[in-house]
Structure 1
Amino acid sequence: MRRLAGLLAVPLLLIATAACGSDDKGSDSTSDSASMKNGLPAITAGAKFGEKPTLAKGDGNPPKALKVNVISEGKGAALKKNDAVSVNYLGQAWDSDKPFDNSFDRKEPFTLTLGAGQVIKGWDQGLEGQKVGSRVELGIPPELGYGAQGQGDSIKPNATLVFVVDIVKATTIPASAKGKEVAQDDKDLPKVGTNTDGKAPTLTIPKTDAPKKLVSDYVLEGDGDVVKDTDSVVLAYEGFLWKDSKKFDSTYDQGKTQTFALPNLTLKGLKAGLVGKKVGSRILVVIPPDQGLGDKEQSGIPANSTMVFSIDILAKM
């Protein structure tokens, strides 16, 4: 089964983005290289929460196990598994004085679902329990990072990684959309189940011709904020082909939600179907080919396919 996140959106996962290069030079002085705090490289500039930091090069042998320094503790709630979390970060290899990636320059926090396997294990483990508003430094051994394979040209095999992470925001993710049931009266459109137990709702596609225009209808209408095209949203969803009702993607089957930054979402119909809907809702979205993948086969989805989605809009970041 092909994951929608990899097929339709610019990757917004640390697993994918951490190999992006940076022009930052970092510090290369001997005194900075020798400067350590609790066994991790010192922050040599930009020490305050929200400031882009500069890290010294690691000195001596790197830690063999995950190491977490709380640089400054926030006053917000402690992070839990399955929270949607927004952070800013800078990452650097232990033996380097040059960052391989940072979100500060992009002026856009990175969003993840904690404990969902969207990021390297050192992040999932090191951030759990930390408070919103905190700045933490993580020392991540290879087995909790990119291991023996490394990551592209930027992260060597068996590299120990150091991150400075500012925890900007966190949202608790509900198990299911909940809201007022909306009548599904059009016999020519799919019908979506209204269960609120966190399990995948049923979706039944009629034996009729697919609609030629985009459909985005409430199944359960929540009372949360309206989604804007600049938001990042946390979704639970299943996607089917209209023609044969074949399922091609499901967060329920994966056992985890998916976060999409709408500015980066390349599937026109999906973005249009989400914008204007309320957080906490379940919606039916039917995407005709001209607002979907068009006239080319992509990753097992045939050309000119009409796609059908049941989507729970669980949170907005």
Structure 2
Amino acid sequence: MARRRGDRWQADVTINGKRVRRSFKTEDEAVEFEKFPLLGDFIMSRRLGSRARPQRTKYSVSLEYIAQRHFDAIWGENRDTKFIRGRLAVIFRMFGATTSVKLIDTRAVDYAIEQWLSEGLAPSTINNRLAVLSKLLKYAKRKGTIRDLPHIQRRRVNNQLERVWSESDERQAFEFLEQSGFIASREVLRFLLYTGARKGEAYLLKRSSVVDGWINFEGDTTKNGKSRQIPLVPQAREAWEKLCSMSDLEHPLAVVPINRLRYHWEQLREHFSAQRDRAFVPHMLRHTCATRLVAGGVPLPQVMKWMGHRSIQVTMRYVYVAPRDLEFAADVLSKRVTITR
């Protein structure tokens, strides 16, 4: 149990059969170390800011070394190298970039999954991170750096899409945010809903990104690496103008820091009694936008272009929301309606 020793806090844990004692500045750090020793003494010392130095003689091959030194060999044929590096950055933050691959065991992976779940991440997002970690570790095993691979349990992803907002949900959410005084966050979420932009893309938009009623997403900010333009619909335009008026920041959405938006979203989650709903995440606004486009009869190629999907197969996931599309096709064949271009 954590205990005070002078002006510091001390904690004891057993790691690999050996008792390890560490000293920390705060009680919270000591308690955290006792709760999660499974990542190993070195990993926890890195995450908690301890001055303890790792013994590099035994564990010399780090996660970062393998990922950077052999990146092309592992992911060279992957077209999304920019986002692979982004997922690697998340993995480095979780385990420690200089942590030996030999310390990444099943318990360490389980711990990471628990942490990501506690952050409310969608199963697909967690699986994407696990896929990158798995590929890195498989390469390390193939090269003889490690003997065994940890068991990596992927999260179950439902066949249906993540939850979407109805018009009633939208009204309820925005009324709650306004009444709670979260005005800027309301505008950020409204902008996301009516553009379908990914949160990361939207936060990188500059004031100069909106010209003559069009939003310009530059290729270096998009997931597929391609630039795209979409018209600014009235609801998104109003949200954008309000956000621009709230500060002089070059990136208007940055008026609401990500951490603050996350906190306000958690308040919204509680308001909807969705604490246990893993699908209730900000990314659902993007799904809502795509769902409304498909349900409204917008052709899939146009939806694909609007959303910035890499392939039409991704867009096809939304077809299930338009059950009358075959009836429309039948009307075309029977000449009851005419398609105009």
Q: TM-score normalised by the shorter chain: which range applies?
A: under 0.3
Q: Select the structure that is richer in helix.
A: 2
TM-score normalized with structure 1 length: 0.25
Q: Considering only CA atoms, is the larger Rg found in Structure 1 or Structure 2?
A: 2
Q: Select the structure that is richer in strand.
A: 1
TM-score normalized with structure 2 length: 0.24
Higher relative contact order (CA 8 A, sep 6+): 1
